[in-house]
Every structure is written in C-alpha cells, then in structure tokens.
C-alpha cells in the first residue's frame, strides 16, 4: 500500500491551527529550535524486518491479522511508517528469515518507498531445514570446526546479500554460551569466537562495518560468549577498525548504567550501532520509552554529548535501529510509538544546556546538574517533533492518521486475516 501524500496533507490541514499554537508556545522557550528541527528531520531509525509481525513468547503467539507475509509486504509496511513519520527511512533484514531472492526488484521497491537498507543480520541461533551441523552448542564458538565453518560461511553469505542491496554493515548477534558451569572452557570459547569473527571480518567490503552485539543472558543462562560491552569491545578491538560494539538496550543485567557504557564506547570510537527497545526485567523488547523514558533521555544525552565531542554526524555515523517485539499491540502502531519516543528523547538531548551542565559539573554543583537534566526532560517537546514531521512532509499525528484511515483494516483486506510474518 502506497499512501497518498494528499491524504496526509488533508489530515494535517485539519490539525494545523492547533498544532501551530502548540509549536509557537514550545518554540518561545527554546533558543535553538530551528537547529533542533533540522537535526530531527535528518535523524532516521531503521525498522527490523522481523518486527512487523506479532512476536511471541515461548508460551505462545497470538498473530494479528494482515501481517506482512513476504519481504515485499514488509518493505511496504516500513514504507507506510516512513510516509507517516519520515523518520523510518531504512529497513534491516535478518537472513534467512528474509532472503532477497531478486535483489534488484527488492531494491527498486524499497526505493519507491524512500527506504534504504540498514545493517544485515545473520542468524546462527536457529537451525535451518537441511542444515548439516547443529547450533545446539553454539556456532562461532563451537568445539567442532565444521560447525564453526558453517556459521562463518552463513555470515559471509549474509554480507553478499547485503552488498546486493546496498547495506553497509553486518550485525552479528550470537546466542553462543553455556547453560551450566563446566560446560565450556571460557578461554577456548573466546578464541574460537574471535578466530571465526576474524574470518568473517576478512570478507567485509572496504566500506563496511561489523557490529558485535552483546547480551547478558538468554538463551544461554550461565555464560554468553559475547556477554557484555567489555567482551564485545575486546572482540571489536582485536578485529580492527571496521569492527564496533552494538548496544541493545535490553541486553544488560538489571539496573546497568547504560548511559555510562555508551559514553565510554563513544570516547573510544568503538560504538557502532544501537538497538532501541524498553524493558522492565530482561530482554523484554517492549515499546521504546514505555517503561523508562528518563533512562532513554539520559542515554541520548550521553550519545549527543559524545558524538559532539568527536564531531560526529548524529544521523549518519551510528546505526540506529528499533529491536522490539510486539505481543499484544498492533506492530505498526507500536513502531510508531517507538519512533516518537526516540525523537522526543533525541530532541530533549539536543535541548540540554551543555554549557551550564559543564559549569555545574566543574563546580561540583550536584543540585544544579540535576535541575538542568530534569528541567529539560520535563519540557514538552512533542510539538517540536511534530513540526519536524510536518516540514518533512509527514503526518502531524501518525498514530491518529493510522487509526482514522483504518490502515490495518485495509491491510487485512489486501492480505487476509491469516498471514504470518517470518521472525521469532
Ligand atoms: C536478539 C538480538 C538481535 C536480534 C535477535 C532477533 O535478542 O537482539 O539483535 O537479531 O534477537
Ligand atoms: Mn538486538
Ligand atoms: Mn534482544
């Protein structure tokens, strides 16, 4: 489904007077509002191809209707999101869930929707039909060379798919690890993983990046072979300058100080990619900003501070992606909420008075530092984010549009009620 621009414009017209009033009120208090809007317009968050269907838990899955049943339909879904918010201009593919059999046609379709291909993701956490070696006891870390070779080969194939589509990065997330003490020799597992990653790294095109994603636990519950940012950083450093750490917000032990991790990785020039989601307990993969919006702001605050310190381009120099799963909400509505939460957190981070904050830090004025951060966080920037959308031709109110125009109902009519999207 390709959204008619005029429909969005007509919907915006109805909301315009009220929006302008809210925006004028917000803008009065913000001295650098035009600069913030420019940055918001440029900022794009990739949507993963596996987040467009209903996710499940290990207890069950309750599919919604009108889910995308093919890669083409997934691209159309991301195209819909992008038409509504103009901030979701990229899709990230998971192979083999979404193999682009006709890369040229897929590229053409993506282009029609204004989409680019973000990082490609490999999958060595599931066995595929007909696969010779099993990943039950790991993939790149495996004690058997044949299993490691098979997993390496898969990653290299994923790079090739990415090259065909114009991707520029590979994300490697490993489920590898152990479930019980004594099961693994940690050093050997590390060495095997590193050697395997080195072979994959050698197959990277010159202008590509490799993201090494860490996760504290699950599916292995005693040790993970890339369990935290220290281990990921170690692999990335040993691999070379094209390798980076990827931070997924849900992959830490409870109460980890993610903003500090982000700050130090940026300082070392080793933060490469970012997966947004929210959680209360573990890797809950909930809507971004639904549980801990203040933490999201604190993370963005460090991202902006650290990227500015290195004179990085906020929109282009890191890979931004949502990595969430939707068990009870409509995936498209959930993704619209996530993107909105990200844009609000980013706007807040751009709003922080860095000069004053620096002064407060230099003077050990703890109270002032807190006032600055919390004062910013409590500023309502929703109209500023909406203004950025309006100026880029998107909807002032994407969720309102989605509901009013009964987009899901139309998709059900097109696709039927029983389609099931590939993914977890
Ligand atoms: C993992 C991790 C990866 C994602 C898979 C589906 O927990 O977050 O990024 O590729 O899930
Ligand atoms: Mn992830
Ligand atoms: Mn995850």
Give, in degrees to the nearest 5, the angle at Cα 332 between 49 and 273: 45
Looking at the CA of 247, which ligand is closest? 2
User: Which residues, 6 or more positions from 238, have their beta carbon under 8 angstroms from its beta carbon?
Assistant: 194
Given pLDDT bands bounded at 50, 70 and 90, which one contains residue 194?
A: very high
User: Which residues, 6 or more positions from 263, have their beta carbon under 8 angstroms from its beta carbon?
Assistant: 302, 305, 306
Which position has the token pair 């029609």? 112
CA distance 271 to 267: 9
CA distance 190 to 223: 11
Given pLDDT bands bounded at 50, 70 and 90, which one contains residue 2?
A: confident
Would you say residue 271 has pLDDT above 90?
yes
Q: pLDDT per residue over 113-151, tens digit each?
A: 999 999 999 999 999 999 999 999 999 999 999 999 999
Q: Is 424 in the pocket of ligand 1 (CB under 6 A)?
A: yes
Mean residue pLDDT of the chain comes to 97
Give, in degrees to the nearest 5, the angle at Cα 88 between 265 and 352: 50
Residue-level pLDDT at 419: 84
Q: Is 285 in the pocket of ligand 1 (CB under 6 A)?
A: no
- Over residues 408-417, the mean pLDDT reads 94
Residue-level pLDDT at 423: 76
User: Which residues, 6 or more positions from 398, have their beta carbon under 8 angstroms from its beta carbon?
Assistant: 81, 84, 85, 336, 340, 389
Neighbours of 202 (CB within 10 A): 11
Residue 48 or 2, more confident: 48
Would you say residue 374 has pLDDT above 90?
yes
Give, in degrees to the nearest 5, the angle at Cα 359 between 355 and 360: 120
- Percentage of the chain modeled with pLDDT above 90: 95
Residue-level pLDDT at 56: 86
Would you say residue 93 has pLDDT above 80?
yes
Residue-level pLDDT at 348: 98
Residue-level pLDDT at 40: 98
Q: Is 323 in the pocket of ligand 1 (CB under 6 A)?
A: yes
409 pairs with which residues across the strands?
Answer: none
Q: pLDDT per residue over 381-409, tens digit each?
A: 999 999 999 999 999 999 999 999 999 99
Q: Is 216 in the pocket of ligand 1 (CB under 6 A)?
A: no
CA 306 – ligand 1 centroid, Å = 25
Would you say residue 373 has pLDDT above 80?
yes
Q: Is 283 in the pocket of ligand 1 (CB under 6 A)?
A: yes
Q: Is 228 in the pocket of ligand 1 (CB under 6 A)?
A: no
Q: Is 103 in the pocket of ligand 1 (CB under 6 A)?
A: no
Looking at the CA of 274, which ligand is closest? 2
Tell me how long the chain is: 424
CA 220 – ligand 2 centroid, Å = 16
Q: What is the pTM of this model?
A: 0.98
Tell me the backbone φ, ψ of residue 173, rounded to 5 degrees: -115, 125
Q: pLDDT per residue over 150-165, tens digit each?
A: 999 999 999 999 999 9
- CA contacts within 13 A on the Cβ side of 236: 30
* Nearest C-alpha neighbor of 304 from the set 334, 274, 336: 274
Give the 3-state DSSP-derived string for the chain, with helices as H, strands as E and coil as C. CCCCHHHHHHHHHHHHHHHHHHHHHHHHCCCCHHHHHHHHHHCCCEEEHHHCCCCEECCEECCCCCCCCCHHHHHHHHHHHHHHHCCCCEEEEECCCCCCCCHHHHHHHHHHCCCEEEEEECCCCCCCCCCCCCCCCCCCCCCCHHHHHHHHHHHHHHHHHHHHHCCCEEEEECCCEECCCCCCCHHHHHHHHHHHHHHHHHCCCCCCEEEEECCCCCCCCCEECCCCHHHHHHHHHHHCCCEEEEEECCCCCCCCCHHHHHHHHHHCCCEEEEEECECCCCCCCECCCCCCHHHHHHHHHHHHHHHHHCCCCCCCCCEEEECCCCCCCCHHHHHHHHHHHHHHHHHHHHHCCHHHHHHHHHCCCHHHHHHHHHHHHCCCCHHHHHHHHHHCCCCCCHHHHHHHCCHHHHHHHHHCCCCCCCCC
Looking at the CA of 279, which ligand is closest? 3
Looking at the CA of 276, which ligand is closest? 2
Q: pLDDT per residue over 336-371, tens digit each?
A: 999 999 999 999 999 999 999 999 999 999 999 999
- Over residues 249-270, the mean pLDDT reads 98
Residue-level pLDDT at 55: 86
Please state the atom number of ligand 1 nearest to the C-alpha of residue 48. 10
CA 275 – ligand 2 centroid, Å = 5
Given pLDDT bands bounded at 50, 70 and 90, which one contains residue 22?
A: very high
- Over residues 269-297, the mean pLDDT reads 97
CA 46 – ligand 2 centroid, Å = 12
Which position has the token pair 């799963």? 325
Q: pLDDT per residue over 52-69, tens digit each?
A: 999 888 888 888 899 999
Residue-level pLDDT at 421: 82
Q: pLDDT per residue over 206-241, tens digit each?
A: 999 999 999 999 999 999 999 999 999 999 999 999
- Over residues 81-99, the mean pLDDT reads 97
- Percentage of the chain modeled with pLDDT above 70: 100
Residue-level pLDDT at 64: 87
User: Which residues, 6 or more positions from 256, have their beta carbon under 8 angstroms from its beta carbon?
Assistant: none
Residue-level pLDDT at 310: 98
Token couple for 18: 């009220």
Q: Are 383 and 349 contacting, i.e. CB atoms less than 8 angstroms apart?
A: no
């Amino acid at each position: 489904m390709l959204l008619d621009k005029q429909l969005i414009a007509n919907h915006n017209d109805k909301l315009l007077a009220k929006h302008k009033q809210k925006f004028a009120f917000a803008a009065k208090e913000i001295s650098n509002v035009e600069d913030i809007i420019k940055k918001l317009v440029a900022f794009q968050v990739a949507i993963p191809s596996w987040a467009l269907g209903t996710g499940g838990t290990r207890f069950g899955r309750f599919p919604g209707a009108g889910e995308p049943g093919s890669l083409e339909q997934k691209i159309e879904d991301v195209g819909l999101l992008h038409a509504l918010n103009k901030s979701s201009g990229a899709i990230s593919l998971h192979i083999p869930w979404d193999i682009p059999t006709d890369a040229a046609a897929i590229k053409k379709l993506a282009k029609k929707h204004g989409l680019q291909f973000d990082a490609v993701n490999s999958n060595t956490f599931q066995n595929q039909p007909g696969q010779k070696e099993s990943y039950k006891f790991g993939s790149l870390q495996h004690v058997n060379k044949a299993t490691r070779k098979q997993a390496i080969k898969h990653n290299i194939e994923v790079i090739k798919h990415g090259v065909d589509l114009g991707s520029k990065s590979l994300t490697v997330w490993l489920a590898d690890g152990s479930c019980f003490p004594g099961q693994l020799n940690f050093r050997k597992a590390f060495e095997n993983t590193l050697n395997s990653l080195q072979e994959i790294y050698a197959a990277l095109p010159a202008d590509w990046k490799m993201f090494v994603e860490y996760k504290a636990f699950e599916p292995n519950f005693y040790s993970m072979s890339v369990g935290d940012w220290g281990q990921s950083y170690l692999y990335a450093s040993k691999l070379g300058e094209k390798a980076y750490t990827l931070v997924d917000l849900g992959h830490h032990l409870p109460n980890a100080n993610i903003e500090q991790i982000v700050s130090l990785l940026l300082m070392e020039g080793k933060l490469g990619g970012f997966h947004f989601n929210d959680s209360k307990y573990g890797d809950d993969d909930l809507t971004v900003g639904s549980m801990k919006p203040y933490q999201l702001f604190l993370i963005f605050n460090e991202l902006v501070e650290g990227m500015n310190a290195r004179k990085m381009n906020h929109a282009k120099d890191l890979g931004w992606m949502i990595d969430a799963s939707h068990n009870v909400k409509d995936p498209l509505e959930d993704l619209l909420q996530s993107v909105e939460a990200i844009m609000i957190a980013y706007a807040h981070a751009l709003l922080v008075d860095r000069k004053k904050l620096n002064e407060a830090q230099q003077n050990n004025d703890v109270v002032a530092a807190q006032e600055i951060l919390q004062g910013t966080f409590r500023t309502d920037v929703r109209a500023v984010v909406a203004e950025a959308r309006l100026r880029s031709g998107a909807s002032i109110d994407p969720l309102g549009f989605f509901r009013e125009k009964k987009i899901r109902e139309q998709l059900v009519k097109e696709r039927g009620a029983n389609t099931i999207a590939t993914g977890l």
